[in-house]
Amino acid sequence: MSPSQVIASGRASSMSLSIFLVDALRSLAIPARLVGTLEWRAAEGSHVWVEVWHDGHWSFFDSGEYRAVNQSWFHPYPAQLQLSGSQQHGIFAASFQHENNGVALPWAPDFSGIDVTVNYK
C-alpha cells in the first residue's frame, strides 16, 4: 500500500506501515530504512520494520508497536535465531547503494539489501 492508501484505509501490513514511516522520517531528513525477514525460524510468517540512523549507528523499532527504540516483540527472540547468509531466514536492510555484499531483498527481489542479521544477535 502507498502512504496515501494507508491513511485512507486506517490499517496496513507491517511492510506498508514501515514504508509509510520511512517516508515520513525521510521527509524530515531523518535517515531511515526498511529491514525485514522473509521467514522466521521460530515463529510464523515474515516481518518488516524500520531502522533509523541515530548517534552513529542504526537503531530499530517496529512501526506497529508502541515500544522504546531497540525493543520489539521480535527482539531478542526470535530474531537471534535468524541465519546470516540465508535468503529465507536472514535479516536484510534495504539499500539503494550497489555494494559488493548486496543481495536481492527476499521480500522485494528487484531491490538490493544488506545482510544485517548479526546486528540482531
pLDDT of 23-52, one tens digit each? 999 999 999 999 999 999 998 899 999 999
Is residue 99 pLDDT above 60, yes or no? no
User: Mean pLDDT across the chain, nearest whole number?
Assistant: 88
pTM reported for the whole predicted model: 0.86
Question: In which domain, by residue range, is 20 found?
Answer: 3-120
Whether residue 33 contacts residue 59, with contact meaning beta carbons closer than 8 Å, is answered with no
pLDDT of 2-18, one tens digit each? 778 877 888 888 888 89
Number of domains in the chain: 1
Q: Which carries the bigger pLDDT value, residue 44 or residue 82?
A: 82
Q: What is the mean pLDDT of residues 102-118?
A: 80
Q: What is the mean pLDDT of residues 54-75?
A: 93
Question: Which residues neighbour 1 within 8 Å (Cβ) at sequence distance 6 or greater?
Answer: 9, 12, 13, 16, 19
